[in-house]
Amino acid sequence: MKISVIGLNHKTAPVEIREKLAFDSPELLTVLRHLKSKFTQAEFVLLSTCNRVELYSAYKPEDGVSSDELIKFLAEFHGIESSSFKDYLYIHNDEEAVKHLLTVASSLDSMVVGEDQIIGQVKESFRLASTARTTGKVLNRLFHRGFTVAKKVRTKTSISSGRVSVAGVAVELAKQLFSDMSEAKVVVIGAGEMGELLIQHLLHVECKDITVVNRTQERGEDMANKYGIKAGAWQELEEQLIEADIAIASAGGQDYLFKKESFEKITSRRRKGSLLLIDIAVPRNIEPAVNEIEDVYLYSVDELSEVAEQNRKNREEDISCGMQIVYENVREFMEWFGSREIGPLIGQMRKQFTLISEKELERFFVGSREEASCKDVMVPMVRRIVNRLLHCVIKNVNTVAKEHGASEAAKFVDNIVQQAEEISSETGKKRDES
């Protein structure tokens, strides 16, 4: 059995590449079901966030799964050439794949280290995979291990203290560019989880004029009532931007809400000074060319990295402690993963030992000895000897597993099985000759 992850993230690929491979929830279910219909024996979980797209899989070599096949599948699903993103991918196998998931789930691989959103996103991805019935024994255990590790890291370190989220970094950037946030008119586009985080952070820095605009007005009004801010109608978004000082976009969707041409019409009607736009959506809500408009300053999620890097430097000790927890759990998981192979191999070893003893007894009880009175005593006695020898071998297997890991123990047993098969084959030949 093999565990693999194929993906790209904020470290390896810019947002213009990541958004090409991004999935929303309905697409996740669709692609998982297509994968399962194509590779029926394999297991899959697909994680897609603003900062990463990762496909986790567990399969046997004979399942017909390979990295190239999975990359081709993702490219075909999105209708793009694999050459447009292949150079940005990372591929991790087995132990490295396990370490990667545990690091991701613990937010140690996030752009904003310590952010709480990633564990919810990992859990949601696993839930969708369970709904699509694409998980199995291996990925079930791996992802639950990831949930446990994430909890331990948050409990045993202070990594999640303070304002640690992409939303928090966006507000921090706005704060750096606007000396008095209390006087700024801010428009939050989108009332999802990220939109709510933005509102919380804006209130924390004492913003007094916040308007949330959402496609579904009822949801926007509920959010506004919850936090004591204003709600605007979606069809009035342009009017809101004409009066805004800051707009932060986090709405879902595959197409730009604003392109340069349409945004120029908005800026031509503005009577205020500069407008700060922060687009933390993936796919992006605002066309990058909007940044070319005079007095408009557009920042994408990738351009928040400088603020996020300072957050990482401030948490180096917590990161180190968190990684120790990850390493311990990688080792424990890989011991379990390796031990899955030992059981069947021990069964094969027992079968070969039994086969050798039976063939030797057959060779002995031939001719005049075929009806020997001692046969009824010797046959069970030989079986007891074989079982005792097997017990000794299994004890040694357990010692190897404990001292050198399950993978080494599996190799040890596999070597014995191969030798036993050779002995069994030789014994059979000698019996036929006699």
Residue 270 C-alpha from the chain's centroid: 44
Q: Strand 43-48 and strand 185-189: pairing?
A: unpaired
Long-range pairs, 172-179, Cβ under 8 A, ≥24: 172/307, 173/278, 173/299, 173/304, 173/307, 174/246, 174/248, 174/276, 174/278, 175/205, 176/307, 177/276, 177/297, 178/245, 178/246, 178/276
Residues 6 or more apart in contact with residue 269 via CB below 8 angstroms = 242
Q: Is 55 helix (H, G, I), strand (E, B) or coil?
A: strand
Q: Is 53 helix (H, G, I), strand (E, B) or coil?
A: strand
Rounded Cα distance between 152 and 155, Å, is 5
Q: In this structure, what are the phi and psi dihedrals at residue 206, rounded to the nearest 5 degrees?
A: 70, 35
Q: Give the residue from 296, 309, 49 showing the smallest Cα distance to 172.
A: 309
DSSP characters over 23-42: --HHHHHHHHHHHHHHSTT-
CB 276 within 8 A of CB 246: yes
Q: Of residues 50, 321, 374, 392, which has the active-site annotation?
A: 50
Residue 350 CB burial class (10 angstroms; 0-12, 13-18, ≥19): middle
User: Which amino acid, residue 316?
Assistant: E
Rounded Cα distance between 360 and 378, Å, is 12
DSSP characters over 329-356: HHHHHHHHHHHHHHHHHHHHHHHHHHHH
User: Which amino acid, residue 343?
Assistant: G
Active site (annotated) includes residue 50: yes
Q: Is 18 helix (H, G, I), strand (E, B) or coil?
A: helix
Q: Give the residue from 319, 266, 312, 318 showing the smallest Cα distance to 293.
A: 266
Rounded Cα distance between 301 and 282, Å, is 8
Beta strands in 121-216, from DSSP E residues, in sequence order:
185-189, 209-213
Per-residue CA distances from 359 to 7, 251, 411, 416, 434 (Å): 53, 72, 26, 18, 12
DSSP characters over 306-321: HHHHHHHHHTHHHHHH
Catalytically active residues, by annotation: 50
